[in-house]
Structure formats: structure tokens, C-alpha cells
Structure 1
Amino acid sequence: MRKRLITIGLVLTVLLAVWSTPAFAQGGDPDGAATLAADPWAPVNFVWVLLATVLVFFMQAGFALVEAGLTRAKNTVNILTKNLLDFCIAALAFFAFGFALMFGGSGAPGLESGNAFIGTSGFFLLNAAYDVNTILLWLFQMVFAATAATIISGAMAERTKVETYLAYSFLVSALIYPVYGHWVWGGGWLGELGAVDFAGSGVVHAVGGVLALIGAWKLGPRKGRFDAEGRPQTIPAHNVVYVVLGVFILFFGWFGFNAGSTLAATELRISIIAANTALAGVAGGVLVMYVGLMRTGRIDVLATCNGILAGLVAVTAPCAFIAPWAAIVIGAIGGAIMLWATSFTERTLKIDDPVGAFAVHGATGIWGVLSVAIFADGTYGDVAGLVAGSTSLIVPQVVSVVALLAWTGSVGFVLFTLLDKTMGLRVPDEDEEKGLDVSEHGYPAYVSEPQSA
């Protein structure tokens, strides 16, 4: 099976390269001269978007460290491998199919055709190979697509076949994420309805979080995660340093994620967006820290880390449209929702989500989308919610959440069911017991004693 998959992958890569070759001479503005003539500030904005892209790309390292740290040492190589390769797979999938499905019809060079439900132009960037504006948009959006795919990894950690993981990373980046993204960001029907999601609480995080929940449910819990009566049993994190460092990296990258979504440094709202991002993250962390302190008399740094991430996820949709005080409220509520969703997932649903991917990204991402309708104050982009005396966003935001759940839930269920029936989702019991580092990759992450020369 592995040799067959590798052969298929190589053949597809060659075909894609041959197919793309004729496009190299095409492009709307290959040297940027027209862009410069139209906007002298374009270089500043280009550098800003490229900087934000690099920051979001570096978040992959944060996800890898958080997932590796929260799981067991015997699976570290496997987790790092998945987080490294899902970026590579997602980039190719978004290049070939995802970008066209998401932004076809937006009107940029090479993206002229599309409809309210799906984009129909821009596949393989064939008609915009050297258009500087389209390529910039692709690069920035590609790292967002990779983030959505990476979120799923943590929920399915320590018991998933690596080949199957790469297969669903491709399909998520090529189809599931782009279609809902088109509805909101690509000129689709939700955007026309008035739904707002500035940087992706729903488009990126809730999509990834809902898929993570479905994948973990279809996969089943790790051995020993629940006792005979169904009570959850703790499987300790193996490296708290990894987790905390990973959260620092994610927090750092989030400034690119949110403020970079202006797509222009000349949009000076970036200062408010960055401040709101910081305040929501710390508010989520502080709330979770104090809840734990009141419950146990101790500070749980791992729960606090997830509280920070929950606050960041929650503010991602409204960050441009709210005042700093609202960012604190949204982030704190995000932390509380994360705690509830974590308990609900494991105690009620009996689903094993090792990193809390659904709680942090799914449940809190949904809250972020809904919070726009409450806290947007009308000071930017004419986006006004209840605090500004407007009810106009309530229906669009609720419909957007329902559409997200319906699309992601139904297609995700079909995807994981088909993969389970064909490639198989789960490793054999003996491989899980041994650890995926040895069984899937042939070597451990840590050497327990010196090796001879």
C-alpha cells in the first residue's frame, strides 16, 4: 500500500508540473509595473502581507510543539512528521484545487469565474502564474489553509495511520476548507448575505475544529483513555516545555494571522487589531488559570495554555470591529467555552481529543463568529452589532454557523468514513502500544542511553 501511494504521488506530481508549464508565460502583472503605477504604496503593503504570511507559517512550529508536548514521548517523531508534511500536502492541494474553489470568481487575474457556491477558475494558478497580486493572495491564503488542516492532527494523535492522515490533509485543503471559505471570503452566498469573519474564527478554526471532532469520534479513543465504566482517565503530557513554547510561538504568529488580514499596512487599524488580539489571548488564559486555581488550589499551566489559544481563536473573527474592552470579554468567554467544551467532549460524548482541538478551535471558533453580531461597534467597515444598536448581523452570523456545521459535519463524516473503509484510519493495537515512532517511522525521538559508534 505504501509503495502504491508513493508511486501515485510521484505520477501526479509529474503530471501537475507538465500541465502547469504552459502557464509560465501568462499573468496579469508579471513585473508589478501596473500595480506600482496604480498604487505607489503597493511595496509597503506587499511587504506587510509577506511578513504576515511568514508569521502564520511559523505557527506550524507552534502547533507541532503543542501537540508533541501534550502527548506521549513514544509518538513524538510521528507527530512532528505529520505537522511537517501536512503543510507540504496542504500547500500543493491549495495550489492545485483549493485556491480556485475558494477565490474563483473574485475577479483577480486568473480568478474571473465562479458562482455563489464555488469558484470555477484559477486551478493550478494556470492563468496567473506571474501576476504579483494573485500570487500574493495565494501565498497568504495558503498558510491559512495549512492551519485548518493542522488543527485536526492533535485530535487524532497517537493512533492514526500517517498515510491516511496525509490523505485527509489533502482533501481538507483541496475541498472542505475552500468551499466554506468561498461562501464567506470568496464572493459566495454567505458574504452576500452579510456574514462577517475578519480573519477566520469560523473559516479556519471552527472548520478545523469540527473536522477534528468528527475524526476523533470515527477513530475511537486511545487505549486506556476511558475505563470500563466510561470514565475518562488522564494520559499525562510528556513535555510541558514544548507546550508552553509552542503557545508562545502560536501567540506570536497570531499577530500576523489577525492584523495581516487587512492585506495592507496602510490600513492603520492594524494597531487596534493587534491590541485586541493580545488582550483576548491573555484574558482567556487568565480566566482559565483562575478557574483552575479556585477548583484545585493550583495553577494548571497546560489548561492556561489552552485558555490563551481559546481567547485568540475567539477574537479572530471580530478583532477589527471591536474596542479593546470587548476583546477582553470575548477572550474570557472563549476561555470559559473551552473549559465547558473540553468536559462535554470527554465526559458526555466520550471522545478522546488529546489536545482539545474541538474545544479550543471548534466551539470557541463558533463563539468568535457569533460575537461579531454582539460586539462590533460600527467604527470599521460599517460592521455594527448589538453594542452599536444594530441587529442586522444576527441572522447572517447564525446562518453562517449553521452552514459551517452542516457542510463541515456532513462532508467530514463522509470523508472519514470512506478513508476508514479504504485506507483504514487506525494503526493496529500492537503498533499503538509500541508507539508510532518505531512502528511507523523506525526510530524514536529520544535515545534513552548512549549509542555505540
Structure 2
Amino acid sequence: MELSTTVSELRYALDTFFFLMSGALVMWMAAGFAMLEAGLVRSKNTTEILTKNLCLYAIACTTYLVVGYNIMYVDNAAGGIMPSIGALIGTQSEGADHSLESDFFFQVVFVATAMSVVSGAVAERMKLWSFLVFSAILTAFIYPMEGYWTWGGGFLSEAGFSDFAGSGIVHMAGASAALAGVLLLGARKGKYGKKGQIYPIPGSNMPLATLGTFILWFGWFGFNGGSQLMISDFENATAVGQIFLNTNAAAAAGAITALFVCKTTWGKADLTMVLNGALAGLVAITADPLSPSPLAAVSVGAAAGALVVFSIVGFDKIKIDDPVGAISVHGVCGLFGLMIVPLNNADATFGAQLFGAVVIFAWVFGASLVVWAILKATMGIRVTEDEELEGMDVHDCGIDAYPEFVSVK
């Protein structure tokens, strides 16, 4: 065997392994979302939110395998709008840097991440089965369409839109779908008063919420680092190191800034805001974690950490009830991350970034609004007032997350 062939096979194996391990890190983010959301909802809704997170991941893996990946990547025209719709993941291309199966695995955990954003925003009042039906539609069709337009080489890619690891394609898309659902769903009972009062509804388990945030932070190294796609040469290995450094720096800066904003605004260190500050920094840097210098990455994270606090408060003021702050973290900060890419990347333009952001939002929000509306008119999307008062765990699952705290009559 020639030396060049051996080196080529070793690089193929290394890059495939890198892809798979990065995908495994992103898959672990599903646990992060589950723990974060379980901590930020009330105890009576914990089992149900865990069920949603596990089932949406399983649904995403199935629908994306059967049709979603094909829509996004297989046999599509460069610069096009409509994909060629087929089944399964196609065949391995000659001369590929990594295996097709590893590419699918890395992509499927991204689509599950987009759907995980939705579960927290609609928590504590949405019907379980309506949510699961929507999960299938988003992961099979809605997400893959905009994924083709961008990462799949469609018209947004041709227009110069740049989103390295998915601030817009994954996170803002998930938040757009969530916003459409929340608008049709309405707020939780007791969240807002008739005269505009805002009544906090505390989460049940701050240790779980904190654990979930750390898991997401950890998984994000695969999310951003794996998006470099290769690690088998000097340039790519160095780039992955830079991506890890910037990702970590942005998250840390986001948490610190949110902490200081809370202290100066309310005189308290609000843990939930600090957690969301770290996640906001991660979302914002995801659009381009490679180009910024370390100090620029700190600036990106710090700005996002402040932005998310004011965004969460702002959505509450207009009575958009988001129990975990997902629309602010993933939507507002995802948009912010997209729009600041040209500040650090000379190849990106504000015009192309704005165009891409508008198209992604319009498509995902519009398509989701139609699907939610159809579900509302048929299955219904909101539980009854009595079911909401009793809790989703008893109604949907029949299992209490914390049975030792339930009084027995």
C-alpha cells in the first residue's frame, strides 16, 4: 500500500472519529435541555417535560433519517429553493473526508437541538401529543428546508449568508417555531394580572437547572468544534482549538455580565438569569466561533449576556410567557450572533446576514404558525384549566416526578 493511500485512510478515520465524537457531545445536550427545563418548571410538570425531551429526540432521529436529511443535502441544485425530496441519506460520495453515516449523525443531533428549544417555551400548558406531532413535522420538513437553503448549498448560501454552527439555522429557527406556538397557546394561568401585573412562577429545582446548563455548555464544544468538520491537519486542528477557546470565553462572559446586570438592576444575583446569560453567550458565538480573537469572543458573550436579561423582561412585559427564556436565549441572541458576524469576518456582509435571518424567521415562524393553527383546530394544543391546575404529570403521564412530596389523602 502506498504511503499516500495510508495517510489518506488515516485522515479519513480521524475525521470520521472526530465527527462522531462531536455528534456524541451534541447528543448529550439533549440531557442538558431536559435537566434545564425540568428545573425551571414546577414540580407538577416535571415528568411531562422530561417525556417531551426524550420523545422529541427519538422522533427527530427517526424523521430526519427517513426524509429530513435527504431534503437538506441529497441531490439538490446549488442555489435553489425547492429540494429534491427523497428517502434516507443517499450514498457515500467518492473522495469524502469522513463517512456519510458520521455526517448524518452529526446533523441529526442538530435538528433535535432546534426542536428542544420549543419544548421549554411551551411548557406547562401544551398538550403532549400535539407537541409530539409538531416535533415530527418540524424535524422532517420545516427545519430541513431552511437547512437546504443554507448549509445544503441553497439560495441563502449563494447569497453569502454565513452561519458557522447555527445561531440562526438551529437556534433562531427553534425559537421562531416556539414563538409561533406560544402566541397561539397563550400564557400560563396566573402568570399575568388583568392590570398588567407580572407574577413570577419559580422553577422547582435549581440544582437540576444548573446541571442542565453545565451539560449544555459542555456539549457546545462538540456543537461548535465539530462544525469545523475536520481535525486531521495543522490548519483544522488549530482552528478547532480556537473554536473551543472562543466558545468557552463567550459563555463565561455571558454568565458574568448577566450576574452584574441582575445585581445592578434588582440588587440580587438571579441564578436563572445567570444560567441564561451563559447560554446566551454560547448561542451568540455559534454564528462564528472561529474568526473572533479571544477578547472579541468575550465581548460577544458579554453583550449577549446583557441582552438576554432585558429580552426576558421585555417579553414578559408584552405578556409572551416563556417559562425558560428560550425565545430570548435562542431567538434574540441567535439573531444578535448572526448580525455581528461581519464585525469579525470580512467575508460576511450585514446585508446577506439580515437577508438570511429574515428568510429563516419568516419560513420557520410562518410554517410553524400554520401547523400550530391546524393542530389547535383539530387536536387542540392547550390542556384544560383543571388539567393545568392539577399538573401535566398526572394528566399526561400518570407519574409524579417527586412522589414523596405528594400528600396522600
Which band: TM-score by shorter chain?
A: over 0.9
Amino acid at match of 1:261: S
What SS is found at the alignment partner of 2:265?
helix
Please state if 1:417 is matched with 2:381. no
Shift of 1:181: 1.1
Change (3 A) 1:283 1:445: same
3-state SS of 2:321 partner: coil
Equivalent in the alignment of 2:196: 230
Equivalent position of 1:125 in the other structure: 89
Q: How does 1:442-453 map to 2 (within 5 A)?
A: 442-448=398-404
Number of the residue aligned with 2:300: 330
After superposition, where does 1:25-424 map in structure 2 within 5 Å? 38-105=8-75, 116-120=80-84, 122-125=86-89, 127=91, 133-266=99-232, 267-268=236-237, 269-348=239-318, 350-376=319-345, 384=346, 393-424=349-380
- Kindly tell me: are residues 90 and 297 of structure 1, through their superposed partners in 2, closer, same or farther at Cα, counting changes over 3 Å? same
Contact 1:104 1:118 in 2 (8 A): no
CA contact (8 A) 1:176 1:408 kept: yes
Q: How far apart are residue 122 of structure 1 and its match?
A: 4.9
Instruction: List per-residue Cα deviations over 1:370-417 (Å, max 9, x = no partner).
Output: 1111222xxxxxxx16xxxxxx51211111111112111211211111
Give unpaired runs (5+ residues) of structure 2.
Answer: none
Cα distance in 2 between the residues matched to 1:405 and 1:126: 28
Residue deviations 1:266-298, cap 9 Å, x none?
Answer: 212000000000000011110010011112222
TM-score (norm. length: structure 2) = 0.93
Q: Tell me if the contact between 2:278 and 2:305 (Cα under 8 Å) persists in the aligned partners.
A: yes
Q: Report the CA distance shift for 1:126/1:255 in structure 2 as closer, same or farther (over 3 A).
A: closer
Q: How does 1:10-25 map to 2 (within 5 A)?
A: none
Q: In the alignment, residue 358 of structure 1 is paired with which amino acid?
A: I
Please tell me whether the aligned partners of residues 71 and 236 of structure 1 are also in contact (alpha carbons under 8 angstroms).
yes
The alignment of Structure 1 onto Structure 2 pairs a total of residues equal to 398
1:422 offset after TM fit, Å? 1.2
Contact 2:246 2:293 in 1 (8 A): yes
Counterpart residue number, 1:29: none
Amino acid at match of 1:285: A
CA distance 1:429–1:273, shift in 2 (3 Å): same
1:424 match: secondary structure: coil
Q: Is residue 63–residue 250 contact of structure 1 (8 Å, CA) maintained in 2?
A: yes
Is this contact kept in 2: 1:105–1:115, CA < 8 A? no
Compared CA separation, residues 418 and 114, structure 1 to 2 (3 A): farther
Residues 79, 158 of structure 2: 8 Å contact kept: no
The amino acid of 2:178's aligned partner reads A
- Distance 1:41-1:225 versus aligned 2 partners, 3 A rule: same
CA distance in 1, matches of 2:11, 2:103: 17
Distance (Å, rounded) in 2 between the aligned partners of 1:249 and 1:226: 32
The whole-number CA distance in structure 1 between the counterparts of 2:197 and 2:343 is 37
Distance across 2 between alignment mates of 1:176 and 1:114: 19
Higher relative contact order (CA 8 A, sep 6+): 2
In 2, distance between residues paired with 1:228 and 1:238?
26
Q: String of CA shifts for 1:168-221, please: whole Å, max 9, x gaps.
A: 111111111111111110010111111110000000000001111111111111
Q: Tell me the residue number matched to 1:109.
A: none
The structural deviation recorded for 1:39 is: 4.4
Q: CA RMSD in A?
A: 2.1
- Note the C-alpha offset of 1:104: 2.2
Label 1:36 to 1:96 Cα distance change in 2 as closer, same or farther (>3 A).
Answer: farther
CA distance in 2 between counterparts of 1:450 and 1:244 reads: 24
TM-score relative to the length of structure 1: 0.84
**CA deviation after TM superposition for structure 1 residue 340, in Å:** 2.2
Query: What CA distance in whole angstroms lies between the structure 2 residues aligned with 1:397 and 1:265?
Result: 27
2: CA distance between counterparts of 1:152 and 1:88?
15
AA of the residue aligned to 2:359:
A
